[in-house]
Amino acid sequence: MKLKAIKKYCIPIILIVIALIIEMFLSNYKLIGLDKAEIGKNSIDYYIEDNNLIIDKIDSYIKKLEIHYEADEDAIVTLNYVYLNEFEKGNAGSCKIELYEPLNSYILNIGKNIENIEIADAENVKITDIYINNEYTFSFIRAFGISVLFLLLYYVFYNRKHICKRLDVLGLMIILGIGSIMIVSVPSLANMAPDEQIHVYNSYYNSSLSHSEFSEAFYFVSESPGHSLPLSIETNLDLNEHLNSKEMTEAEASPKSKFVTYDQAPYLIAGLGIKFADILNFPFTIGFYFGKFTNLIFYAILSFFSIRKSKIGKKIVFAISILPTSIFLASHYSLDGIMIATLTFATVMFLNMYSDKNTKITKKDLALFIFPVILASFAKAIYAIMILLLLLLPKDKFSSIKQRRLFKTSIILILLLLSFTYVVPMMTGGIAGDSRGGDTSFAGQVTSIVTHPLGFIQMCANNIYIGVYKYLFNPENYNFFGYLSAPDSTMRLLLFVLLIYISLTSGHEFKIIKGKTRGIIIFIVLLISAMIYGAMYLTFTEVGNSLVAGVQSRYFLPILLLILISILPRNKYIANNENLEYSIISVFYIIILFISVYSTMIVLYAI
């Protein structure tokens, strides 16, 4: 018993200590071989040539470059440099950085042996001093990330003999752990997830039911186009300190309606976190993170219950719930995470009701299906079509023919009611073209379709043909981090192979879904897909264009489980040791997730 307690409580503490030691080594091991004079913070000489700032004959290791400047407005400069690789061969490198007007200094991670540096495009900024910063540092965020990695791997190892029964808890831990790393690693700016500036505005606007309050800090983080992300933890901290200053956080409250429109309801989730931070009088940047965390917690809890409640396809639900793309979207002010979580949960509830032939339909099961679909359709009305799945429930689920007919009538009425949020604005001209798509016009696009019906049909067929690979079989879709740099292609491919393996070896569990039912599910999937394409073609595509603009893979993630139900083979596969198999799969999944986040977020912004 004592040995078991040691394993359960002491080993995690040891792993955290090891993570701290590893971080201390990673941050400072390159300083060990330097001369004493090179350690610390040293000023460096430079000169101006052809309006470019030149620093030559450096020939030394630079951990961080510290630039001090004076500017009347934000200025984007280009840093060109020559560094020596492992074989002491010169290589050229370049990056753009944004020097923020209020900060007066910028620290840039270099971590290379540099020969010379050129700072170009610096006409609108006066650089006063430049330092080589080779001081000893410690990244608490990287230490946190490594700790999360070790603890997740340890949980899998500790439960390896019955991990299949713990997939719900493991999924919850992965989502909260990896999602938290994503949130704390990236800067307090809103230009990472697609359309995030819009979602930030709506979340803050709905964080209070009685008034709206927007500070200068809010306008700074939600400005579109967004600011360049600071490429070091030091500059991020300086930026946060500026955003939390009195002059940036003062704002006058304006009265607003206490009524929240249906399309704004999903923003109440992030708004709850923002309001909670406001009540506790936390700084602005902490409140900004709280909004993200409440979105993540909502996604994690609903995913936990999706995995736990799933009677068939549990492993596939687990794999979908911990997709890197889904966790990333859930960790930001995007509504996509909410839609993925709600519709995956609704699909699980449908599968449970459909597969349990001996149990009559209950109000609880119906509520657990309908309310998530309604919440998702508030965000994007096209997903209201999911309500039609209830029409596929077997007749044995009802006590009488009358009850079954009344039930089907109610479902049709609910669908019509939800459709009003999409159809009525379309019919009344309330939907206009989105200027971000170019020369768009809703009315002009409709006229074009009416006058060229055969061309429209051909265009639809071509786009669907292209989209099957682009949005379903493209590995990039499942390990995608918005506007941040893309994860390594190897990680994307490994994850995709893992997803295929999980799907093919677990797909037999859907054999209870008969051919006719599968056909109807495919029709529902195609109908939702057509509405996605239709919405983007009418509002986001230039009139007469033969390629639908604005369609993205994230729109299909909420119906990924439905798609897999439709296309997976029914061949039965039984692993010799299922717990061992999923212990190995979980380890690979966790490592892929961590490396993807580490390379795209921690290394760039949190060190």
> 330 pLDDT exceeds 90?
yes
- What per-residue confidence (pLDDT) applies to 156? 95
How do residues 486-527 score in pLDDT, each as one tens digit? 888 899 999 999 999 999 888 888 888 888 889 999 999 988
- What per-residue confidence (pLDDT) applies to 208? 86
Backbone dihedral region for residue 93 (phi beyond 0: left; psi -120 to 50: alpha; all else: beta): beta
> 426 pLDDT exceeds 60?
no
> 442 pLDDT exceeds 50?
yes
Same domain, yes or no, for 344 and 247?
no
The alpha carbon dihedral of 308, 182, 146, 581 has a sign of: positive
**DSSP 3-state of 184:** helix
* Of residues 576 and 81, more confidently modeled: 81
Domain boundary pick from 293, 323, 349: 293
Same domain, yes or no, for 288 and 316?
no
Same domain, yes or no, for 254 and 319?
no
- What per-residue confidence (pLDDT) applies to 429? 45
> 427 pLDDT exceeds 70?
no
How many whole angstroms separate alpha carbon 305 and alpha carbon 307?
A: 5
> 428 pLDDT exceeds 80?
no
How do residues 91-129 score in pLDDT, each as one tens digit? 998 999 999 988 999 999 998 999 999 998 888 889 999
- What per-residue confidence (pLDDT) applies to 441? 67
Q: Which residues of 42-68 are buried (b: 16+ CB within 10 A; e: fewer)?
A: eeeebeeeeebbbbeebebbbbbbbbb
**DSSP 3-state of 63:** strand
Same domain, yes or no, for 459 and 414?
yes
8 A C-beta contact, residue 53 and residue 116: no
pLDDT band with cut points at 50, 70 and 90 for residue 536: confident
Same domain, yes or no, for 125 and 255?
no
Is 603 within the bounds of a domain? no
Q: How far is CA 338 from the centre of its chain?
A: 11
Same domain, yes or no, for 288 and 326?
no
- What per-residue confidence (pLDDT) applies to 65? 93
Q: How far is CA 330 from the centre of its chain?
A: 5
- What per-residue confidence (pLDDT) applies to 438? 59
What mean pLDDT is reported for the chain?
Answer: 88
**DSSP 3-state of 48:** strand
Is 517 within the bounds of a domain? yes
Same domain, yes or no, for 105 and 190?
no
* Of residues 148 and 4, more confidently modeled: 148
Per DSSP, the residues of 344-357 read: HHHHHHHHHHHH-T
Instruction: Supply the range of the domain harboring residue 544.
Output: 310-573
Q: For residue 592, count other CB atoms closer than 10 A to its CB.
A: 21
* Of residues 512 and 432, more confidently modeled: 512
Is 35 within the bounds of a domain? no
pLDDT band with cut points at 50, 70 and 90 for residue 225: confident
Closest by Cα among 182, 170, 188, 172 to 145: 182
Same domain, yes or no, for 419 and 566?
yes
Is 298 within the bounds of a domain? no
Same domain, yes or no, for 403 and 478?
yes
Segment 529-558 shows an average pLDDT of 84
Same domain, yes or no, for 263 and 389?
no
- What per-residue confidence (pLDDT) applies to 190? 87
- What per-residue confidence (pLDDT) applies to 172? 97
**Number of structural domains found in the chain:** 3
Is 161 within the bounds of a domain? no
- What per-residue confidence (pLDDT) applies to 400? 80
How many whole angstroms separate alpha carbon 585 and alpha carbon 577?
A: 12
Same domain, yes or no, for 496 and 409?
yes
Segment 398-421 shows an average pLDDT of 81
pTM: 0.92
Return the top range by mean pLDDT from 62-76, 84-98, 454-468.
62-76
Q: For a pLDDT cut of 90, what percent of the chain falls above it? A: 51
> 86 pLDDT exceeds 80?
no
Is 158 within the bounds of a domain? no
8 A C-beta contact, residue 196 and residue 333: yes
Same domain, yes or no, for 267 and 316?
no
How do residues 276-317 score in pLDDT, each as one tens digit? 999 999 999 999 999 999 999 999 999 999 999 999 999 999
Would you give the DSSP letter of residue 441? -
Is 174 within the bounds of a domain? no
How do residues 596-606 score in pLDDT, each as one tens digit? 999 999 999 99
Closest by Cα among 140, 127, 126 to 66: 127
111: CATH: 2.60.120.1300
- What per-residue confidence (pLDDT) applies to 22? 96
Instruction: Show the CA angle centred on residue 374, arms to residues 369 and 380, nearest 5°.
Output: 130
Is 142 within the bounds of a domain? no
